[in-house]
């Protein structure tokens, strides 16, 4: 029988941002405070902040209705516009002078090409050279030239002023080299077998500048002397999955392996950087047989890999990496592995095009003969609504045993989205609330005859308080939306603020305000 | 000689293959074409290759790559 009453203990806990990214490896009760169980269709535009990602916009169609993009490439030409080349499942290679046009005008370069093997491209001696196992050819912007006596491989890489090729089915270990400085001439003795007869096949060529990197599914070797073809194995444990999944970003080189995305170390085994996504790289989730069709991109401060999920040979899931948001080690100054997010967007191949004052990311649609502008300033994917899915870890407000009364949440953000509360590690949605930071003051001028009310999403970050009136031992926030517009982010640059188009909403912080109750239920 | 010093292009080898009239074997035909070049050094350094000796006759080395040509020895 109680003999005395005590005041309930007030509790307030603030989230710590979301720079930890998505973590599907760790048990849900073990996540760090800045990690998320789910983070799909959101970007980490600023450290700690989540933005809904921008949408994708169709730039028109190519070929026949059943055609899909296999690979694409930006062919830069000094003093004039770059061309974008697109190889399709129709066996056709197209080019366009202006991928920003809508619709894009595609002109055929060649037909009768492979309908399944993505073309590999390299620019050298002012021409773009390409191969896909049935042809080796060049294009100088107006003339298509084939080289019938060249080896017919699938992968090309330029290294040390020389074109290198591999991927001949009958000679799976063989790497060829053109004459130095001349990718049109292939000497008969310029070849070497890498890890000959090991039961594996070369599936990618890359370079870190120092070495020619020769990737197979189970191991990676390097050719370190282009004159003598001297080589050695650099990684005995990790292999590569796709020629198009090597990404240079700042001082690092990344690639896709069976284990996940790795950071190339040069003279020692590569380091896995996608360990928070370990559970993804399973045959029940990804189509391992189609990982060769995976495709990587790099735009701004992030890079991503489009991967085929089970049931699809074409990439359906994008994992995106933020190397600059990793932890900084103060003694060495090094940056550790950064956070990841995921996207589901209708783009399967990628190429970044920088021309004049613009830099955009384009790619072929994964389910239509459309060419897309990825992360375009639109709020839909090819006109269709897409939702963001966020699920945080569970917060117990520092008290894992006792039930809490969650009075309200004070949030910092922008735009409008839906916040749902899950409790006690259960999957059911407990409470649903709309978080609305949209414009609170009339943007119309005072002289307007009409314009009462609000107008448009507000670029300013704001606070909002939503009453939840909920009881639980632990809480998780699930965030979703059905918005179809874009928002603005004011980026301060000294005395001037630049407005940037970003996703419709942002979520930076939530403060839980409640009370710790007794042990219940 | 080193591999890059070999003065034979794939185009040349392709011509030899295309000129083979079916008499004897293709390998012998290619060997005779290499011999006809009368190169001052007829061996090639292959120390960068697994499972090959440090040097080998140039014709033998070129024959190892015949499957990559439009008409192989098969």
The answer to whether position A452 is within a domain reads yes
Residues of chain A neighbouring B12 (CB-CB closer than 8 A) = 188
The answer to whether position B59 is within a domain reads yes
The answer to whether position A412 is within a domain reads yes
Confidence of residue A399 (pLDDT cuts 50, 70, 90): confident
Tell me the residue ranges of DSSP E strands in A365-423.
370-376, 389-392, 404-414, 416-423
The answer to whether position B40 is within a domain reads yes
ipTM for the predicted complex comes to 0.95
**What is the distance between the alpha carbons of residues A275 and A23, in angstroms, rounded to a whole number?**
9
Distances (CA, A) of A297 to A44, A68, A254, A301: 16, 18, 11, 11
Point out the residue among A174, A186, A193 whose CB comes nearest to the CB of B10: A186
The answer to whether position A81 is within a domain reads no
Q: Which of the residues B1, B41, B64, B65 would you substitute to probe the A interface, choosing the one with the greatest number of A C-beta atoms within 10 Å?
A: B65
Per residue in A10-64, pLDDT tens? 888 899 999 999 999 999 889 999 999 999 999 998 888 999 999 999 999 999 9
Contact check, Cβ <8 Å, A149/B6: no
Confidence of residue A520 (pLDDT cuts 50, 70, 90): low
| B51 in contact with chain A, both atoms CB, cutoff 8 A | yes
Alpha carbon B9 to its chain centroid, in Å, reads 10
The answer to whether position A402 is within a domain reads yes
Confidence of residue A521 (pLDDT cuts 50, 70, 90): very low
Residue in A closest to B15 by C-alpha: A149
**What is the distance between the alpha carbons of residues B68 and B54, in angstroms, rounded to a whole number?**
23
Is A440 a residue whose pLDDT tops 70?
Answer: no
Kindly state the DSSP code that residue A279 receives in the 8-state scheme: G
- Nearest CA of chain B to the CA of A168: how many Å? 7
**What is the distance between the alpha carbons of residues A280 and A189, in angstroms, rounded to a whole number?**
43
Residue in B closest to A195 by C-alpha: B50
Q: Mean pLDDT lowest for which of A191-200, A393-402, A506-515? A: A393-402
Mean pLDDT on A491-511: 91
Token code pair at residue A46: 């600023």
Is A457 a residue whose pLDDT tops 80?
Answer: no
Contact check, Cβ <8 Å, A149/B11: yes
Contact check, Cβ <8 Å, B68/A168: yes
| B21 in contact with chain A, both atoms CB, cutoff 8 A | no
The answer to whether position B73 is within a domain reads no
Per residue in A465-475, pLDDT tens? 999 999 999 99
| A193 in contact with chain B, both atoms CB, cutoff 8 A | yes
The answer to whether position A474 is within a domain reads yes
- Nearest CA of chain A to the CA of B61: how many Å? 7
Mean pLDDT on A104-127: 97
Confidence of residue A147 (pLDDT cuts 50, 70, 90): very high
Residue in B closest to A168 by C-alpha: B68
Percent above pLDDT 90 for chain A: 79
Residues near A367 by beta carbon (within 8 Å), at least 6 away in sequence: A68, A314, A346
The answer to whether position B74 is within a domain reads no
Per residue in B33-63, pLDDT tens? 999 999 999 999 999 998 899 999 999 999 9
Q: How many domains does chain B have?
A: 1
* CATH for A444: 2.60.120
Q: What residue numbers bound the domain in which B45 lies?
A: 3-68
Q: What residue numbers bound the domain in which A404 lies?
A: 9-15+389-516
Residues of chain B neighbouring A199 (CB-CB closer than 8 A) = none
Is A154 a residue whose pLDDT tops 50?
Answer: yes
Is B3 a residue whose pLDDT tops 60?
Answer: yes
**What is the distance between the alpha carbons of residues A42 and A338, in angstroms, rounded to a whole number?**
16
Is B71 a residue whose pLDDT tops 70?
Answer: no
Torsion of CA B61, B64, B70, B74, to 10 degrees: 140
Is A497 a residue whose pLDDT tops 80?
Answer: yes
Q: How many domains does chain A have?
A: 1
Output the average pLDDT for chain A.
Answer: 92
pLDDT for position A455: 54
Confidence of residue B73 (pLDDT cuts 50, 70, 90): very low
pLDDT for position A491: 86
Query: Roughly how many angstroms between the first and final C-alpha of chain A, as a whole number?
Result: 19
Token code pair at residue A79: 């003093």
């Amino acid at each position: 029988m109680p003999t005395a009453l005590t005041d309930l203990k007030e509790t307030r806990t603030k989230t710590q941002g979301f720079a930890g990214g998505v973590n599907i490896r760790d048990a849900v009760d073990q996540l760090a405070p800045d990690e998320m169980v789910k983070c799909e269709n959101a970007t980490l535009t600023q450290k700690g902040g989540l933005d809904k990602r921008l949408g994708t916009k169709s730039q028109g169609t190519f070929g026949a209705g059943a055609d899909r993009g296999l690979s694409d490439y930006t062919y830069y030409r000094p003093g004039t516009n770059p061309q974008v080349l697109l190889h399709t499942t129709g066996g056709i290679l197209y080019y366009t002078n202006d991928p920003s046009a809508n619709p894009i005008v595609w002109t055929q370069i060649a037909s009768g090409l492979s309908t399944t093997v993505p073309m590999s491209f390299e620019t050298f001696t002012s021409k773009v050279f390409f191969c896909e196992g049935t042809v080796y050819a060049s294009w100088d912007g107006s003339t298509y030239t084939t080289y019938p006596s060249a080896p017919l491989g699938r992968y090309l890489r330029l290294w040390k002023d020389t074109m290198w090729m591999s991927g001949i089915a009958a000679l799976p270990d063989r790497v060829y080299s053109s004459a130095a400085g001349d990718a049109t001439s292939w000497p008969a003795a310029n070849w070497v077998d890498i890890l000959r007869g090991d039961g594996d096949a070369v599936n990618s060529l890359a370079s870190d500048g120092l070495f020619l990197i020769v990737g197979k599914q189970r191991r990676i070797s390097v050719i370190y002397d282009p004159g003598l073809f001297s080589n050695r194995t650099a990684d005995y444990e990790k292999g590569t999955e796709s020629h198009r999944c090597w990404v240079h970003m700042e001082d690092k080189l990344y690639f896709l392996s069976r284990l996940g995305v790795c950071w190339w170390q040069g003279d020692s085994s590569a380091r896995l950087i996608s360990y928070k996504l370990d559970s993804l790289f399973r045959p029940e989730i990804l189509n391992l047989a189609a990982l060769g069709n995976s495709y990587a991109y790099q735009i701004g401060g992030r890079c991503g890999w489009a991967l085929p999920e089970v049931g699809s040979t074409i990439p359906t899931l994008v994992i995106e990496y933020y190397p600059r948001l990793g932890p900084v080690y103060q003694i060495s100054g090094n940056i550790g592995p950064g956070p990841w997010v995921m996207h589901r967007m209708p783009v399967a191949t990628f190429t970044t095009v920088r021309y004049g004052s613009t830099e955009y990311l384009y790619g072929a649609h994964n389910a239509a003969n459309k060419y897309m502008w990825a992360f375009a300033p639109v709020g839909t994917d090819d006109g269709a609504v897409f939702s963001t899915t966020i699920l945080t870890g569970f917060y117990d407000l520092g008290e894992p045993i006792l039930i809490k009364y969650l009075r309200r949440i004070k949030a910092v953000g922008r735009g409008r989205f839906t916040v749902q509360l899950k409790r006690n590690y259960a999957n059911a949605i407990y409470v649903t609330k709309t978080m609305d930071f949209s414009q609170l003051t009339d943007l119309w001028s005072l002289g307007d005859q009409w314009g009462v009310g609000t107008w448009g999403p507000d670029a300013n970050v704001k606070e909002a308080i939503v009453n939840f009136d909920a009881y639980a031992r632990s809480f998780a926030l699930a965030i979703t939306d059905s918005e179809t517009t874009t928002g603005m982010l004011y980026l301060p640059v000294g005395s001037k603020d630049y407005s940037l188009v970003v996703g419709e909403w942002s979520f930076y912080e939530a403060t839980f305000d409640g009370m710790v109750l007794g042990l219940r239920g | 000689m080193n591999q890059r010093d070999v003065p034979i292009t794939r185009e040349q080898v392709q011509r030899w293959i295309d000129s083979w009239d079916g008499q004897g074997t293709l390998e012998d035909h290619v060997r005779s074409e290499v011999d006809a070049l009368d190169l001052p050094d007829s061996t090639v350094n292959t120390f960068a290759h697994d499972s090959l000796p440090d040097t080998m006759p140039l014709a033998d080395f070129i024959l190892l790559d015949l499957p990559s040509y439009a008409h192989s020895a098969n």
